[in-house]
Amino acid sequence: MTDYFSTVPLIDHHCHSIVDESRQGDVEAMIRVTSEAPSSYPLADLKERLVWEAVQTIARRYTKSEWKQEEELGAILKQQDYKAYCRSLFKDAGYQALFVDTGYAPAASPSLGKLADLTDAAVYPVLRLEKVAESAFQTAAAFSDWREMVLSQVKAAREKGYIGAKSIAAYRTGLNLHEVEEREAKASFEAWKQSGSGRLADESLLNYLVWTAAPLLAEQALPLQFHVGYGDPDTDLRLGNPLHLRDFIETFTPMGLSVVMLHCYPYHREAGYLASVYNHVYFDTSLIVPLGVSSARRVVAEALELAPYSRYLFASDAHTRPEMFALAAELFRDAFASHLDDPLVARYTSVEKREAWTNQVFHLNSKKLYLGID
């Protein structure tokens, strides 16, 4: 990797919070964060993976310690000055800003202000639509109150400091989004009230939520992110294929809504295709880079087979452990450099062009898309 690729700053347009110092020595969390497996999955198997070796390599580098027995690791992590440790990991990785999905945060995570202090990066929140819907559900007795509460929060998002919104419809009922009549949504809301559950899992109501929020987001120039593809087993991966988003994309992107597909693996090629044929469609390959260490170069190259460099964004989807942010950045820099250094790419492009594309993907695209800064 040439020096150039290691110094360009990164904006992470999709990530979550890390833990605070009270859990800095939590080794089990460090192992589990290398996988999307549920907590019932054996730790012994999680440790027989390249990504766990990679995380330990980073921890060794930054703690300047060797451990023979894994039992020593917790004590070594606890001895670190946590703020100094986090800051050096984030600084060396080149993180300039973090766009944080607060819809998922690990136990004992700091406030966003404290996260900014721990990482020395600018931190901006992303509004999780399903969370808004579920918290309004706690207080709204009638459908009309719920609708009013949800939509007023969506309308005020930019003013409140949010720089985008996110939906996890893929996790609940799938990406085959469609328009739902108010009558049907009202009946679903009433059934939800009867159910005794606080979790929004009804297909009609989820569709209604996303479909009604979309134009309000477009008016504020707030991009809408979708969880796409790979995730924990709570998601039905068959329904997380971004090709299901076709109707949604064709309805809302002509109004100016920007649609951002997160993670995408193993559908990163489909996502790249969509970004190559529809205006206002963007994507990333977070999560697989860093978790799929050995395939990072291939995945990045596949993602970019068709898609413009102006539609592909860096993200880590890291959370809980600062080492994961470091690994995501390191692997992404390596994979992107290897893609642009490919002799075939190099044959047709100038150094200046390749540097311009690197800047777009690493930080400029996110700056323009979410913050409106050219």
Shortest CB 287 distance to Zn ion, Å:
7
Shortest CB 239 distance to Zn ion, Å:
17
Among the listed residues 286, 279, 284, the one whose alpha carbon sits nearest the alpha carbon of residue 258: 279
CB closer to Zn ion out of 317 and 323: 317
Shortest CB 221 distance to Zn ion, Å:
22
- How far is Cα 366 from Cα 286, in angstroms, rounded to an integer? 14
Q: From residue 83 to residue 122, what is the string marking binding to Zn ion with x (rule CB under 5 A)?
A: ----------------------------------------
282 φ/ψ sector (left φ>0, alpha ψ -120 to 50, else beta): beta
One residue of 20, 26, 270, 317 binding Zn ion per CB under 5 A = 317
Provide the token pair at 211: 């479909």
Indicate whether 26 belongs to the interface with Zn ion (CB under 5 A): no
The stretch among 311-319, 324-332, 343-351, 352-360 that binds Zn ion (CB under 5 A) is: 311-319
Shortest CB 272 distance to Zn ion, Å:
19
Torsion of CA 123, 125, 126, 132, to 10 degrees: 160
Burial environment of residue 46 by CB neighbours within 10 A (0 to 12, 13 to 18, 19 or more): middle
Give the DSSP letter string of 122-171: EEEEEEEHHHHHHHHHHH--SHHHHHHHHHHHHHTTTTTT---EEE-HHH
CB closer to Zn ion out of 104 and 278: 104
- How far is Cα 268 from Cα 312, in angstroms, rounded to an integer? 11
CB closer to Zn ion out of 12 and 317: 317
CB closer to Zn ion out of 5 and 314: 314
**Hey, which residues between 331 and 370 contact Zn ion (CB under 5 A)?**
none
Shortest CB 167 distance to Zn ion, Å:
12
Q: Decide: 17 and 115 in contact? Cβ < 8 Å.
A: yes
Shortest CB 11 distance to Zn ion, Å:
16
Shortest CB 324 distance to Zn ion, Å:
12
Shortest CB 175 distance to Zn ion, Å:
16
CB closer to Zn ion out of 123 and 185: 123
CB closer to Zn ion out of 100 and 307: 100
Give the DSSP letter string of 198-228: -S---HHHHHHHHHHHHHHHHHTT--EEEEE
CB closer to Zn ion out of 31 and 105: 105
What number of chain residues touch Zn ion (CB under 5 A)? 1
CB closer to Zn ion out of 26 and 317: 317
Which position's Cβ is nearest Zn ion?
317
CB closer to Zn ion out of 110 and 229: 229
CB closer to Zn ion out of 74 and 106: 106
- How far is Cα 207 from Cα 187, in angstroms, rounded to an integer? 14
- Collapsing DSSP to helix, strand or coil, 360 comes out as helix
Q: Decide: 96 and 9 in contact? Cβ < 8 Å.
A: yes
Give the DSSP letter string of 94-120: TEEEEEEETTS--TTPPPHHHHHHHHT
Shortest CB 101 distance to Zn ion, Å:
5
- Assess whether the previous peptide bond of 266 is cis (omega < 30° from 0): yes
Helix axes 322-340, 351-359, angle to 10 degrees: 150
The stretch among 36-44, 316-324, 329-337, 366-374 that binds Zn ion (CB under 5 A) is: 316-324
What type of residue is 305? E
Shortest CB 229 distance to Zn ion, Å:
11
The stretch among 48-56, 128-136, 299-307, 312-320 that binds Zn ion (CB under 5 A) is: 312-320
The stretch among 89-97, 145-153, 213-221, 315-323 that binds Zn ion (CB under 5 A) is: 315-323
Among the listed residues 350, 338, 332, 279, the one whose alpha carbon sits nearest the alpha carbon of residue 308: 279
Site residues for Zn ion per CB under 5 A: 317
